[in-house]
Amino acid sequence: MISFSCKSRLKEDSKIDKLVQQMTLEEKIGQMNQVMNFIDTMPIDPYFYNLIQEGKIGSVLNAYSPEMIKEMQRIAVEESRLGIPLLVGRDVIHGYRTIFPVNIGLAATFNTELVKEIAKIAAIEARSEGVNWTFAPMMDISRDPRWGRMVESCGEDPYVAEQMAIASIRGFQGKNGFNSNSIAATAKHYVGYGAAIGGRDYNTTLIPEAELRNVYLRPFKAAVNENVATVMAGFNELNGVPTSGNIHTIRDILKNEWGFKGFVVSDWASIKNLEVHAYAKDSSDATIKALQAGVDMDMCSLYYLDKIKELVLKGSLSEELIDDAVRRILKIKFELGLFENPYANKDNKLITEQALDIAKKAVIQSTVLLQNKNKILPLSKDINKVAVIGPLADAPYEQMGTWVFDGKSENTVTPLKALREYLGNKKINYAPGLKISRTRDKKAFADAIKAAKNSDVVLLFMGDESILTGEAHCRAKLTLPGYQNELITEISKLGKPTVLVIMSGIIHMIEPYLEQVDALLYGWHPGTMGGPGYVDLLFGLESPSGKLPMTFPRTEGQIPIYYNHNNTGHPASDESWVRMYDIPLKAWQTSLGNTNHYLDYGFEPLFEFGFGLSYTEFNYSDIKLSKETISLDDSLIITARIKNIGGFKAEDVAQLYIRDLVGDIVRPVKELKGFQRISLNPGEEKIVEFILYPKDLEFHNGKKWLIEPGDFHVWIGNSSKATLMSKFELK
């Protein structure tokens, strides 16, 4: 008996077959063409109007208004020969109208249910204005904070990226298939884009096959397993072959090995970029190489529209390749229900109370407490005067962060506004000190210093304007721009209790600030509800529970630095690190011990992956394993006791790490294999439980996947420096 789902699939395939049979070659090529209308006025520009009417556009992106989207769909559905609806793409990256923390901040929540809910809200809001396809989630592994696009990533760990990708896709698309509130998701950028040499966007990437499989491809495989609708080929070259023309990664791995059923879209004009890379000699060559590699839709270079017909007629391209691409694109359009209803879902609302509540919760759970000397935080509401200082204290546009096309400044609640609402305006001494984050003068320092002197506590809101993060916005020097450093120094001289909140999309080298301030909250760019979220944290209505999704270096010279590195043959330790200024005069060359460290900065980061303080303390103890030995058809239960030994109700993120002690290739010193959020009252304790399967121990040796027998270590704790350890054997 055929199940209902199989019947539906057969019916859909039949519809696609029937439609493809009716299509001319030109109409097929049109489905493979995505274009942006650069004229933002109505009526639709005549050139663009004619392209849609003639069936030469399958998708549009970044349309300027709901009215324009509706009109373009009307033309496609009512005036083109076959009435095929358009896919309407948009960069719905961390919210649509309700803006949530930037993606690196969402990763810091270690809360997949929250991330799923955020993607669901974004989808509902986008669909309300006719957008039915997003270019998210981004799942590039980012180990270099100089790379501007780390802000869109989930950080350095493939397991976190996997889990966040799954959560986002379920939120955007729905767990059990599309509905009228869903939008198609895009797994991007395929693949290795985050490994750009020097952290410079678009730069060369060199990744051995084993590392490609074990680290960079893992989130994409998880996305394919979750039935992600589309995959975006990246800008970068990978081991000498641009990823938008890479047969090995797209055709061989993604489509053939993994069985991906959706379609592959190029990044913006990345097919044209094959010429710039010097991989293709002209537009015809670029078209052939991209299509043969498996790129089904051309974003904005117009090469497919201009060249495919000529190449098919000449015999340089098979029409079977075109048919396969068109079938994949039509499949997504049918699954989204666009043939039944291509227009906006007007029942959906923007910026609901529920959306704002979730946005505030995301701010609270994403913010990471890195320092709290003498437990200065939380503050008392009974405080007399509070100085609010810094260029990000009242910058509604900037706190939304990068890749915000549809958020509105008027909907954003800044820290200053939220503090005035919570404490009353009379308690606030506001003086920004700097007009914007890049201001390089001290004209307003005097007012800021005066405000600080006349207050009981100083709140510094420092960071970056949104334009200083994101695509092509890479930084070689990761310090606060403008004269923010100087302002922090001047305020610190006053001896006032001082709290620094950093609002950014990147990692700053914050070690100098730790000596100058009492507490430091890393808040990322928090989005619409940044202000209320920070107020709840600063005044103890909530305890910080965010954890670092990337290792924080002490200096740029340590980059790249990440927790899941290999051991090397000369591993460093505190005992083996000889400080540069402690070296005896005329010391013999090998007398320092020959270990893997820097003479000036050692081998440890400032803060490790997974780190984050709370207003309470948690104690981990009693790690237990269900077995000491497991087989390939078995599983292992690992438990530990976690107790809140402080005086504040709070949440912690329990983290499970393993180490494969001996492998066919060298394995990392630690690998994250699980995490859970645990809420505990003062004095309360719980047993946290993780299940580990032999499949979780699998790795690729550059040639094939292996699950090797041998000894393993396992840890449970609240950062990658977890010390509560046990061991087991796989037979």
Catalytic residue among 267, 298, 406, 652: 267
Q: Is 267 a residue of the active site?
A: yes
Query: Residue 694 domain-assigned?
Result: yes
Q: How much is the mean pLDDT over the chain?
A: 96
Residue 8: per-residue pLDDT: 57
CA distances from 629 to 283, 638, 646, 727 (A): 59, 13, 36, 9
What tens digit of pLDDT does each residue of 381-421 get?
A: 999 999 999 999 999 999 999 999 999 999 999 999 999 99
What tens digit of pLDDT does each residue of 503-544 get?
A: 999 999 999 999 999 999 999 999 999 999 999 999 999 999
* CA dihedral (239, 223, 120, 58) positive or negative: positive
CA–CA dist 76, 57 (Å, integer):
9
Residue 232: per-residue pLDDT: 98
Query: Residue 667 domain-assigned?
Result: yes
Query: Residue 393 domain-assigned?
Result: no
Query: Residue 247 domain-assigned?
Result: no
For residue 103, pLDDT over 50 is answered with yes
Q: What backbone torsions phi and psi does residue 363 show, to the nearest 5 degrees?
A: -60, -45
Residue 177: per-residue pLDDT: 84
For residue 713, pLDDT over 90 is answered with yes
For residue 451, pLDDT over 80 is answered with yes
Q: What backbone torsions phi and psi does residue 387 show, to the nearest 5 degrees?
A: -85, 125
Would you report the helix, strand and coil content of the chain in percent, each value rounded to 5? 35, 20, 45
What tens digit of pLDDT does each residue of 185-206 get?
A: 999 999 999 999 999 999 999 9
Query: Residue 569 domain-assigned?
Result: no
Give the confidence band of 38 by pLDDT, cuts at 50, 70, 90: confident
Lowest model confidence (mean pLDDT) among 31-45, 468-482, 521-535, 677-691:
31-45
- What would you measure as the largest C-alpha separation in the chain, in angstroms? 85
At a CB cut-off of 8 Å and minimum separation 6, what does 336 contact? 87, 132, 178, 182, 183, 184, 229
What tens digit of pLDDT does each residue of 354-368 get?
A: 999 999 999 999 999
Q: What percent of the chain has pLDDT over 70?
A: 99
Give the confidence band of 574 by pLDDT, cuts at 50, 70, 90: confident
- More confident position, 41 or 376: 376
86 close to 73: Cβ distance less than 8 angstroms: yes
In terms of Cα–Cα distance, which of 251, 229, 138 is closest to 184?
229
Residue 4: per-residue pLDDT: 32
Label each residue of 419-462 as H, E or C. Answer: HHHHHCHHHEEECCCCCCCCCCCCCCHHHHHHHHHCCCEEEEEE
Residue 3: per-residue pLDDT: 33
Residue 348: per-residue pLDDT: 85
What tens digit of pLDDT does each residue of 280-322 get?
A: 999 999 999 999 999 999 999 999 999 999 999 999 999 999 9
Residue 5: per-residue pLDDT: 45
At a CB cut-off of 8 Å and minimum separation 6, what does 542 contact? 364, 536
Q: Report the CATH number at residue 680.
A: 2.60.40.10
Residue 332: per-residue pLDDT: 98
Residue 463: count of CB within 10 angstroms of its CB: 30
- More confident position, 240 or 574: 240
What tens digit of pLDDT does each residue of 68-77 get?
A: 999 999 999 9
Query: Residue 362 domain-assigned?
Result: no
Residue 119 token pair: 């993607």
Query: Residue 681 domain-assigned?
Result: yes
- As for how many domains the chain has, the answer is 1
Strand partners, 84: none
How far, in whole angstroms, is CA 66 from its chain's centroid? Answer: 27
Residue 256: count of CB within 10 angstroms of its CB: 11
Residue 576: per-residue pLDDT: 83
Domain hosting residue 641, numbered range:
618-730
Query: Residue 640 domain-assigned?
Result: yes
